[in-house]
Amino acid sequence: MAEILAAGEAMERALALLEGGDVVAIPTETVYGLAADATDGVGVARIFEVKGRPRFNPLIAHVADLAMAEHIALFDSLSKRLAQTFWPGPLTMVLPQRPGNGIHPLVTAGLDTIALRMPKGFGGDLIARLGRPLAAPSANSSGKISATTAKAVAADLGAKIKLVVDGGATSVGLESTIVKIEGRKLRLLRPGGIAAEEIEAVAGTTLSRGATGIEAPGMLASHYAPGAAVRVNAAKVAKGEALLAFGPSRAEGWQ
């Protein structure tokens, strides 16, 4: 089973595993991520192996600062303004790749674009210490619910990985918002931790919706499916059931 170390004690162990081409489960503000050196094909391949994720589904590359991001992708004035406003934080931007950026092709699944995000906390510190970006999808078996605690990661992937870094429950608890920047146009590819309205206010333009095929991580027809039956618009919550709800209205029997 995976070793679970508190974030304050895990840095050197995490770095050693990453340098050795292995994966590490790490906390971010969104959900826990399964991280590997994004420039190392062996490590990136381990992500797909551990998660059971198809290799045509690209990964998000995580950076420590804007300078690292600009080495990987081509930024214009709009994408730079969004980065300066929302990074570090739960915004992922899909941008054209910079030639010769060193990112392993498995990360981008053959696309000429790359999804970039700058995480807060331990993840950002780890990338800065490593000096290279981390590829890091959510730390769960492919198609399952994303983990927001180290305990949940260990229960799902603990037999397949060596280290889970425990940073407590994630503060956002939801995947990052993914936006594709195409000149002066923005397209929302995945809703997430930052509302579309916040992005529109900074960009000064409206976010369009819709995608053609798989343009970014998290766009498969089935994604983050719970391992249980689901009832929609339930009026009552029965014994043994959980409720997922938004807004002030709650179903009968919710506690």
Q: Which range, of 64-68, 171-175, 210-214, averages the lowest pLDDT?
A: 210-214
Q: Residue range 89-103: average pLDDT? A: 98
CA distance 181 to 97: 12
The tokens 């027809």 sit on which residue?
Answer: 221
Enumerate the β-bridge partners of residue 177: 91
Is residue 249 predicted with pLDDT exceeding 90? Answer: no
Confidence at 246, pLDDT banded by 50, 70, 90: low
Buried b (16+ CB within 10 A) or exposed e, 115-154: bbbbbbbbbbbbbeebebbbbbbbbbbbebbbbbbbebbb
- 221 or 15, greater pLDDT: 15
Q: Residue range 40-50: average pLDDT? A: 98
Is residue 238 predicted with pLDDT exceeding 90? Answer: no
Query: What pLDDT shows up at residue 183?
Result: 86
Is residue 223 predicted with pLDDT exceeding 60? Answer: no
Q: H helices within 168-208, ranges in order?
A: 196-203
Query: What pLDDT shows up at residue 85?
Result: 98
Is residue 224 predicted with pLDDT exceeding 60? Answer: no
Is residue 220 predicted with pLDDT exceeding 60? Answer: no
CA distance 109 to 112: 9
For 151-163, the pLDDT digits (tens) are 999 999 999 999 9
* DSSP state string for 49-104: HHHT--TTS--EEE-SSHHHHHHHB---HHHHHHHHHH-SSSEEEEEEBPTT----
For 63-74, the pLDDT digits (tens) are 999 999 999 999
Domains (range + CATH), the chain: 3-209 (3.90.870.10)
Confidence at 133, pLDDT banded by 50, 70, 90: very high
Question: pLDDT > 90: what percent of the chain?
Answer: 80
Contact indicator for 174, 12 with CB cutoff of 8 Å: no
Give the residue from 53, 40, 4, 54 showing the smallest Cα distance to 24.
4
Is residue 227 predicted with pLDDT exceeding 70? Answer: no
- 184 or 179, greater pLDDT: 179
CA distance 95 to 115: 7
Give the residue from 225, 245, 214 showing the smallest Cα distance to 144.
225
User: Which of the 8 DSSP states describes residue 7?
Assistant: G
